[in-house]
Amino acid sequence: MASPLTARSLGRSPRGVTRVVVGATGVRAILAAFEALGLDARALQSGAGITDAQLADPDVVLPARSLYRMWEEAVRAWGRPGLGLRTAQQVPFGAYEVLDYLVLSSGTVGEGLAHFAEYFAIATRTARYEIRSRDEGVAFEMLWQVPPEGVMFHLRDYSLAAIAGRVAFAGGPRPVRVELAGPPLADAGEYARGFGTEVTLRARHNALVFNRAGWNAPLPRHDADLNRTLRRHARMLLDRHPPPEAQAATAQVRAALLQESKVGTVTIEQVAHRLAASPRTLQRRLREEGTTFDEVSRTVREGLAREYLGDRGLSIGEVAYLLGFSEPSAFTRAFRRWTGQSPRAYREARERSRSRPPDGS
């Protein structure tokens, strides 16, 4: 059964993305895929305030809120589960230009995905990818740069499915498993068909997991000279648009916290070590930006709590565990301080809002 989360709860724009940007190339690819699915791409583009001139300029970067607004309207128009997954299936190879051909011209699957991760910011800076070694093989993990909510979960499905499809097009194997953290937006069978492999729902990470043989598998169209040229071009594209939040301590701390499976247990010392800074320096930088480590941690925790509570597949006890609380009662007290409601009351109110018909119906 598909997730009960609807366009009302998952079709809204995320908060805190004012300064995050996306590339015009990725937006063009998504709009073309929407059109292939039978959606009115022109209306979606216009509703998001995106002009033809912006899409035509390869140097233009757009605020992420425009992309999210476009997805909001698409979710409402689609009205069925699995929009992110289905959209990824409609994006032809080459739509992501330099990123796609970096994978195609690489020597192995692992090399291609390493290049993809290095230059992924060409497409968007709302998330990034890291390579993590595991006992069973290698995980290509998607890491949010801002707390995930709303339409970001559709983009989770879209991004992972699109990357898996690019590897397959280049001649590489499918991952042995896909892991999805957060609410599922389709049933298990649809995910398995879409990814062509086993899918673990409500996992701790968002990841494509390859065994060692798959990660090291050679790609048949390897072209070392072309790959070097493409890497120089990709670096030039990144240098044209340095990340607007690259030096913001608040954004760096938020991103570091989102990489942890139990965010509430992470200390400033651990985050400072990850960011190659001393705790004292990190505290000072946060104060200069008008916040503290505890405040950033609380904001991330609260945002994740709201999203976890929107997933009826998770008990309140499981939500408390995921957020690093020692027991559900401690989570209940904290959530009441944050929102003025208990977790159960918040979940019930959210359930009631889901049961209402969409606006205008």
Q: Residues 77-122: pLDDT tens digits? A: 999 999 999 999 999 999 888 999 999 999 999 999 999 999 888 8
* Domain C-terminal end among 240, 269, 293: 240
Same domain flag for 215 and 281: no
**Cα–Cα distance between 137 and 215 in angstroms, integer?**
8
Instruction: Evaluate whether residue 300 is within a structural domain.
Output: yes
Q: Is the dihedral of CA 180, 109, 61, 94 positive or negative?
A: negative
Same domain flag for 90 and 221: yes
Detail the DSSP E strand segments found in the chain: 21-23, 61-63, 127-134, 137-144, 177-180, 198-201, 206-210
Same domain flag for 118 and 205: yes
* Domain C-terminal end among 240, 273, 296: 240
Count Cα neighbours of 123 within 13 Å in the Cβ-side half-sphere. Answer: 24
Instruction: Evaluate whether residue 181 is within a structural domain.
Output: yes
- Position 221 scores a pLDDT of 96
Contact 160, 206 (CB under 8 A): yes
Same domain flag for 166 and 102: yes
User: CA of 137: how far to CAs of 96, 192, 208, 209, 267, in Å?
Assistant: 27, 20, 11, 7, 29
Contact 236, 58 (CB under 8 A): no
Same domain flag for 183 and 90: yes
Contact 157, 84 (CB under 8 A): yes
Q: Is the dihedral of CA 260, 264, 266, 268 positive or negative?
A: positive
Tell me the average pLDDT across 40-50. Answer: 94
- pTM, entire model: 0.70
Q: Which residues pair with 124 in a beta bridge?
A: 22
Instruction: Evaluate whether residue 96 is within a structural domain.
Output: yes
Q: Is the pLDDT of residue 228 over 50?
A: yes
- For residues 59 and 341, the model is more confident at 341
Which among 255, 253, 248, 258 is positioned nearest to 268, based on CA atoms?
Answer: 253
Q: Which residues pair with 178 in a beta bridge?
A: 199, 208
Angle at 88 between CA 86 and CA 94, to 5 degrees: 145
Range of the domain at 90: 81-240
- Position 58 scores a pLDDT of 65
- Position 178 scores a pLDDT of 98
Residue bearing tokens 């801002």: 146
Same domain flag for 100 and 190: yes
Q: Is the dihedral of CA 314, 309, 201, 196 positive or negative?
A: positive
Angle at 135 between CA 130 and CA 140, to 5 degrees: 20
**Cα–Cα distance between 5 and 11 in angstroms, integer?**
9
**Cα–Cα distance between 184 and 82 in angstroms, integer?**
9
Instruction: Evaluate whether residue 72 is within a structural domain.
Output: no
**Rounded mean pLDDT of the chain?**
85
- Token pair of 54 as six digits: 């912006």
Q: Is the pLDDT of residue 21 over 70?
A: no
Residue bearing tokens 């605020």: 63
Same domain flag for 136 and 190: yes
pLDDT digits (tens, 9 = 90+) for 316-359: 998 888 888 889 999 999 999 888 889 999 888 877 765 555 44
Same domain flag for 151 and 125: yes
pLDDT interval class at 241 (50, 70, 90):
low
- Position 246 scores a pLDDT of 47
Residue type, 247: Q
Instruction: Evaluate whether residue 144 is within a structural domain.
Output: yes
- Position 312 scores a pLDDT of 77
pLDDT interval class at 15 (50, 70, 90):
very low
pLDDT digits (tens, 9 = 90+) for 280-308: 999 988 888 888 999 888 888 888 888 78
- List, in order, residues 6 or more apart from 241 with CB less than 8 Å away: 21, 59, 61
% of the chain exceeding 90 in pLDDT: 48
- Position 44 scores a pLDDT of 95
Same domain flag for 157 and 195: yes
Q: Is the pLDDT of residue 23 over 80?
A: no
pLDDT interval class at 16 (50, 70, 90):
very low
Strand 206-210 with 137-144, pairing: antiparallel
Instruction: Evaluate whether residue 69 is within a structural domain.
Output: no
Instruction: Evaluate whether residue 289 is within a structural domain.
Output: yes
- Position 287 scores a pLDDT of 87
**CATH code for the domain in which residue 269 is found:** 1.10.10.60
Instruction: Evaluate whether residue 332 is within a structural domain.
Output: yes
* Domain C-terminal end among 194, 213, 240: 240
- Overall domain count for the chain: 2
Count Cα neighbours of 139 within 13 Å in the Cβ-side half-sphere. Answer: 17
- Position 355 scores a pLDDT of 58
Same domain flag for 187 and 253: no
Q: Is the pLDDT of residue 263 over 70?
A: yes
Helix (H) or strand (E) holding 25: helix 24-36
pLDDT digits (tens, 9 = 90+) for 191-203: 999 999 999 999 9
Same domain flag for 288 and 331: yes
Q: Is the pLDDT of residue 11 over 70?
A: no
Tell me the average pLDDT across 16-37. Answer: 78
Same domain flag for 184 and 283: no
